[in-house]
Amino acid sequence: MRTTNHLIGMLNFLTFLLSIPILGGGIWLSTRANNTDCMRFLQWPVIVIGVAIMIVSIAGFAGACYRNTLLMYLYLWVMFLIIVVLIGFVIFAYVVTDKGSGRSVPNRAYKDYYLPDYSGWLKDRVASDEYWRKISSCIRDSGACSNSGRVVGGYPESAEMYYLRKLSSIESGCCKPPSECGFTYVNETTWNPVSSGMMVNNRDCIRWSNDQEQRCYNCNSCKAGVLASLRKSWRKVSVINIVVLIILIIVYVVACAAFRNNRRMDNHEQYGETRMEKSRPSWIRF
């Protein structure tokens, strides 16, 4: 029994340590929400799960080390709920980020992003007028586009150099017009449009503005760029969550064994002795 309790104690200490990356992932999403992705509600489930695992790990460690049956009983129920919630969150994260990616552009190192390539709840959330006003304002205030300019030899970089840059999805979607519009590059913030008769059927070509306060912040390509950035961020955090989930399941199985041992000791049963054997009258012999 001691061996099992010591094992669950060590595993819970390991789980406590593993809750730190989950909490860190939530904080990382929070920083990106303020500076890059601009979706401030997405980090809270990760932070709450990380804090919950941290608290429950401490309870499980104490329950195993001090053989507190009530604490272990509560620990098992809460841990079970956390595992269920974490499974649901991982599935949800992969479902809402399942579709969508950038399209390669000939003779360009960066990719272009199109809103129809995405679907589902996350797309509807981002593309809604209510949320997009907040998101576009956040992107504008974060300086994502103003910080993308480069100077070479005292002059803005040439078009050839710009085309070889690997722009982020937000830089590509929000800070320049779509490549299919055929605009002429002047610098990172100024693009000369072609004649209206040559424009393709893409309303983002009309939405683009050289006004530094407008750019392509109202373009569908900008919304798609935000979705691509969110997809990348969520996938990184989901990998950490999956690893922690596997370890939590292992810890839960061992914790169940420790709980049964504690119950056996509380009932004054010897290890390996069942209640049926203990309650058998002493005068019955085989």
Condensed to tens digits (0 to 9), the pLDDT of residues 234-285 reads 887 788 788 888 888 887 887 787 777 666 765 655 544 444 444 444 444 4
Is residue 269, in this structure, part of any structural domain at all?
no
Is residue 253, in this structure, part of any structural domain at all?
yes
Q: Above pLDDT 70, what percent of the chain?
A: 76
Is residue 159, in this structure, part of any structural domain at all?
yes
The per-residue pLDDT for 177 is 92
Backbone torsion region of residue 246, taken as left when φ is above 0, otherwise alpha when ψ lies between -120 and 50, otherwise beta: alpha
Q: Could you tell me the two tokens for 115?
A: 């809103």
What is the separation of C-alpha 117 from the centre of its chain, rounded to a whole number of angstroms?
20
Do 123 and 190 sit in the same domain of this protein? yes
Which residues span the domain enclosing 52?
1-99+234-263
The per-residue pLDDT for 279 is 46
Is residue 273, in this structure, part of any structural domain at all?
no
Least confident span in 14-28, 30-44, 200-214: 30-44
Do 5 and 64 sit in the same domain of this protein? yes
Is residue 37, in this structure, part of any structural domain at all?
yes
With 60 as the cut, is the pLDDT of residue 22 above it?
A: yes
Strand partners, 156: 151
CA 56 – CA 196 distance, rounded (Å): 62
Q: Look at residues 202, 226, 250 and tell me which one is the last residue of a structural domain.
A: 226
Q: Could you tell me the two tokens for 239?
A: 């990998």
- As for how many domains the chain has, the answer is 2
| Lookup result for tokens 């004649």 | 195
Q: Could you tell me the two tokens for 125?
A: 């959330």
With 90 as the cut, is the pLDDT of residue 114 above it?
A: yes
